[in-house]
Amino acid sequence: MTAFALDPDQRKWCAELRTLAAERLGSLAAAGEPGRVNRPLVAALGELGLLERLFSAGALDLCLLRESLAYGCTEAETALALQGLGSYALVQAGTADQRERLLPEVIAGRAVAAFALSEPGAGSDAAALELNAAPDGGGWRLTGAKCWISNAPDADFYTVFARTTEGAGARGITAFLVPAGRQGLTGSRLDMLSPHPIGTLDFDGVPVGPQDVLGEPDRGFRVAMNTLNLFRPSVGAFAVGMAQAALDATIGHTSRRTAFGGPLKDLQAVAHQVAEMATRTEAARLLVHAAAAACDAGDPGIAKRSAMAKLFATETAQYVVDTAVQLHGARALQRGHLLEHLYREVRAPRIYEGATEVQRTVIAKELYA
């Protein structure tokens, strides 16, 4: 058995997830309104036990879950991933009361979560965030804005990162659990290339107290980084799922489509491109699995491995989907075609949860540490 080969049970589970995504979740995704939270889809993820599996899974299972769902239904994959991203801070740093109050609702698909880190002036440089948490009696008042927040403004609660100590950089940030109905919190939608909502959040003296803190005051940046270190390899898994779907579609198309007296696959120029697509996809999958396995084992250097997996897999998916479109020709650009859908979906992962350039910075910093 190779180092990262899946066992029979894992392979069976992945096949079942692909079928489930295509046959059951796909119709719910298609019925959703672009730019809005698809609550029936989120509820189905809960009813099927996939959200419960999300929170009980290790990093490798999380990657298998995201890759398999992405292969059959990218909208279902994203809905599941955003529940995890928005709630993982609660899992790792929440109090017993916070977890008992919210996690059952999230797992059932009744409460929608969101991760609110990015700001208009602090996207890639998360430690530079400026959302101000001013002391107010025994608590704080949040003033400022968040931007490019997935599931905003439709989420039921937000994991919000704010500055509680000025001039302290990453050491002066606190994570807060903020319900959507809190006084002073408003939001608006952004018109983005995305099937799920992405929006802004405006904080006008939003009150938060010690009961809303996730972890410890001024230690929230570590909460954010722990979340990203877990989810970055699984963003790579999402990318691998899209790449595999594009690759399989291309193998089928080039086997059937004839040109110049024979099937496209008999043209060396075509066959070599497909071979390159397959090789890069498999390399990305192995890098993702290696990072996930290291995370599950508690190995040191997970920040570097996670960054490598996210970087390579998302860049690979962009290449594979783009090449697939080229080999399919104009038909791939028709609305409703799988590759037209993947072409729109594949671009964003190279930016969110740390852009490609940020991943290279993380890798280089770890190498020279």
Residue 84 has pLDDT above 50, yes or no: yes
How does pLDDT run across 275-286, given as a tens digit for each residue?
Answer: 999 999 999 999
| pLDDT attached to residue 3 | 55
113-218 belongs to which CATH class? mainly beta
Helix axes 74-93, 220-256, angle to 10 degrees: 160
User: pLDDT, tens digit, for every residue of 178-194?
Assistant: 999 999 999 999 999 88
Task: Answer yes or no: is pLDDT of 288 > 80.
Answer: yes
At a CB cut-off of 8 Å and minimum separation 6, what does 72 contact? 17, 18, 19, 20, 21, 22, 25, 26, 245
**More confident call, 8 vs 123:** 8
Range from 22-31, 61-70, 106-115, 224-233 carrying the lowest mean pLDDT: 224-233
Residue type at 76 in one-letter notation: A
Under the banding of pLDDT at 50, 70 and 90, the label for residue 1 is very low
Tens-digit pLDDT profile for residues 26-81: 999 999 998 899 999 999 999 999 999 999 888 999 999 999 999 999 999 999 99
Spatial contact of 122 and 163, defined as CB atoms under 8 Å apart = no
Confidence of residue 127 (pLDDT cuts 50, 70, 90): confident
Q: Is-catalytic flag, 16?
A: no
User: Which of these is catalytic: 75, 77, 315, 353?
Assistant: 353
Start-end of CATH 1.10.540.10 domains in the chain: 8-107
Query: CATH number of the domain at 8-107, please?
Result: 1.10.540.10
Q: By percentage, how much of the chain surpasses pLDDT 90?
A: 85
Instruction: Assign 2 a pLDDT band (cuts: 50, 70, 90).
Output: very low
Q: How far apart are CA 330 and CA 320, in angstroms?
A: 17
SS (H, E, C) the chain: CCCCCCCHHHHHHHHHHHHHHHHHHHHHHHHCCCCCCCHHHHHHHHHCCHHHHHHHCCHHHHHHHHHHHHHHCHHHHHHHHHHHHHHHHHHHHCCHHHHHHHHHHHHCCCCCEEEECCECCECCCHHHCCCEEEEECCEEEEEEEEEEEECCCCCCEEEEEEECCCCCHHHHEEEEEEECCCCCEEEEECCCCCCCCEEEEEEEEEEECHHHEECCCCEHHHHHHHHHHHHHHHHHHHHHHHHHHHHHHHHHHHHHCEECCEEHHHCHHHHHHHHHHHHHHHHHHHHHHHHHHHHHHCCCCHHHHHHHHHHHHHHHHHHHHHHHHHHHHHHHHCCCCHHHHHHHHCCHHHCCCCCHHHHHHHHHHHHCC
Every domain range in the chain assigned CATH 2.40.110.10: 113-218
How big is the chain by its Cα radius of gyration, in Å? Answer: 21
Q: Region 214-220: what's the mean pLDDT?
A: 95
- Identify whether the C-beta of residue 300 lies closer than 8 Å to the C-beta of residue 223: no
**What confidence tens digit (pLDDT) does each residue in 251-266 have?**
999 999 999 999 999 9
Q: Please tell me the predicted confidence (pLDDT) of residue 308.
A: 96
Evaluate if residue 170 carries a pLDDT over 90. no
- Residue 198: strand pairing partners: 150
d(CA 212, CA 95): 9
Q: Which CATH class for the 222-367 domain?
A: mainly alpha
Tell me the average pLDDT of the chain. Answer: 94
Residue 96 has pLDDT above 70, yes or no: yes
Say what the pLDDT of residue 207 is.
98
The whole-model pTM stands at 0.94
* Average pLDDT over every residue of 89-116: 96
Residue spans in the chain of domains classed CATH 1.20.140.10: 222-367
